[in-house]
A and B are shown apart, each in its own frame.
Chain A
């Protein structure tokens, strides 16, 4: 276990901090023996204030990923109820749509990947965002689920 890595040793900036803390939780849940941690391994930890920013995707064999659960940040009127729905149901011009754009890279590399950028939201405002997606075990060495987190700030902030 990498318990010597403290979740308080964070880089500056809200976006980097979210990425850093989720990486620490994922690595600690992974331990030294496993290839991938399970959803319970990660969600069983005290995720603190990044919990509302988290969503989980199921990976049906041969089909489009579907949302297993979503944090409070992705449950407003902007999104509707996405639980159980596929990725294609995510509205355009939203944080979640942009945050998920690279999910196939995680399936390919089988490691956490973080990316960020900017987009124009439905109100025409420029939004800067950061996203991280980590792979979860499906019971063995193969990826069974994806866990992601994303946050943003407006250009004016």
Chain B
């Protein structure tokens, strides 16, 4: 036979892919790959099929099994934390209401009334003084 087929089983451990074992039997390679994936310290298993052509001295490879586990998906949307049942929660801080434009108008009206009153009082005092001097 001109072509030799082998199955290389790779395991992802310690942050890198390392070759674990080599098979000439596809079914056994798949079986061992699935069992290896169950082991605690592995997060991924790959099986690469290598076809070596003796006549052309060329090798081709393709991944026939690629499984991972316990891989947390990165979530970009912030998630509101849900308090656990029975957990002690603190009261939320009081919200400070922003001042509206109407408050400023009321302030101006009050200021005008007070100043107006003071001015009228001043005018009345001057008028009373002038009348006293005239007598």
Contact = CB atoms under 8 A, between A and B. Distances in A.
Is B a genuine binding partner of A? yes
A9 B41 CA distance: 19
A114 interface: yes
A27 B37 CA distance: 13
Interface of B: 19-25, 27-28, 31-32, 35-36, 38-41
Q: Is the interface of B mostly helix, strand, loop or mixed?
A: mixed
B39 A109 contact: no
B38 A20 contact: no
A5 B28 contact: no
B24 A109 contact: no
Nearest to B24: A115
Contacts of A23: 21, 32
Interface residues of A, number: 19
Q: Is the interface of A mostly helix, strand, loop or mixed?
A: mixed
Given A11-B28, A19-B28, A20-B31, A114 B39 contact: no
A2 B24 contact: no
Contact of B21 (A4, A5, A111): A111
A112 B21 CA distance: 5
Can you list the 3 inter-chain pairs with the closest CB atoms, starting with the nearest?
A: A113-B22, A2-B39, A112-B21
A116 interface: yes
Given A105-B22, A109-B19, A114 B28 contact: yes
